[in-house]
Amino acid sequence: MSYIYRSRHARRILTAPRLPVAVASAVVALAAGLGAVAASNASVPSAPPAAAAEAVVPRESPSKADRAKRPTAAPTQSQSQSQSQSQAQTSAPAAPAAPAQLDLPYQFAWQENYYFCGPAATRIALTARNLFPSQSQVAQSLGTTESGTNSSQDTTRALNAYTGSNFYTAHFIRGQSASAADTAELKQRVVHAISQGYAVVANISGSTVDDAGNGHAYPGGHYLTIVGYSNNGDTVRIADPADALGVGSYTLGIQRMADWIALRGYAA
């Protein structure tokens, strides 16, 4: 005998009643329309104010490439001047050191009369600058008379006038003998002038002995020209337009040169 087994606990499955085809289609269409409207409202939120949007949305950090493309700010005037001065200080060449020894080329001439030592010494200095006035012309510029030429202020004025410059200034040693400071200044000014191509005109008085042991005496005063130096300025070369030995040139230590100028002056 056969039979179909049914579980005592089997659940009853309820099925919805079937609707007519036309009604079902209408229901489906209505549901689809309501879903589209809901989806549209969810995807289009209301736009926030512009200020709020800028506050909410953070800016992206620029990349290295973007930063490289951006123009840099122009330097200020003070920065430009500072940079220019720094570059100038870096690129400017240092002034060359004066040589240890230097003699200027010059044209020597004896003084034409006993009171023309000022014009003769000044003219010798001018020939080192390729200027060749006569001694009489220079005497007029100096205001020289039979009493001679007054002071180194006159030779300074004439030298600047002939050279068309203000290179020369007058310097004086006031004491009976030169101090260490006087000697150091004379040395520095002689080296500077000669290395720049300018001879020095000195007004001296009294007597001295040159490096060769020869004496030179001018008790009433005299003008002569320093046309060179050696030993870094410790020795000077002199062109003397009234040298009693008839040579006209000798060397002298800077200390003796300074003492010879004492109570007088020089144009350098």
Task: Summarize the confidence of residues 256-265 as an average pLDDT.
Answer: 98
At a CB cut-off of 8 Å and minimum separation 6, what does 151 contact? 170, 203, 264, 265
pTM of the model: 0.67
Which of the four pLDDT bands, split at 50, 70 and 90, describes residue 4?
Answer: very low
Distance of alpha carbon 225 from alpha carbon 237, whole angstroms: 8
Question: What pLDDT score does 13 carry?
Answer: 38
- State whether residue 218 is helix, strand or coil: strand
> Tens of pLDDT along 70-106?
444 555 555 555 555 555 444 545 667 999 999 999 9
Among 202, 213, 193, CA closest to 262: 202
Distance of alpha carbon 192 from alpha carbon 186, whole angstroms: 10
Is 80 exceeded by the pLDDT of residue 17? Answer: no
> Tens of pLDDT along 200-256?
999 999 999 999 999 999 999 999 999 999 999 999 999 999 999 999 999 999 999
For residue 145, give the DSSP letter. Answer: B
Distances (CA, A) of 133 to 31, 104, 124, 165: 125, 18, 10, 17
Question: What pLDDT score does 9 carry?
Answer: 40
- In the chain, the percentage of residues whose pLDDT exceeds 90 is 64
220 touches 181 (CB < 8 A): no
List of domains in the chain: 102-267 (3.90.70.10)
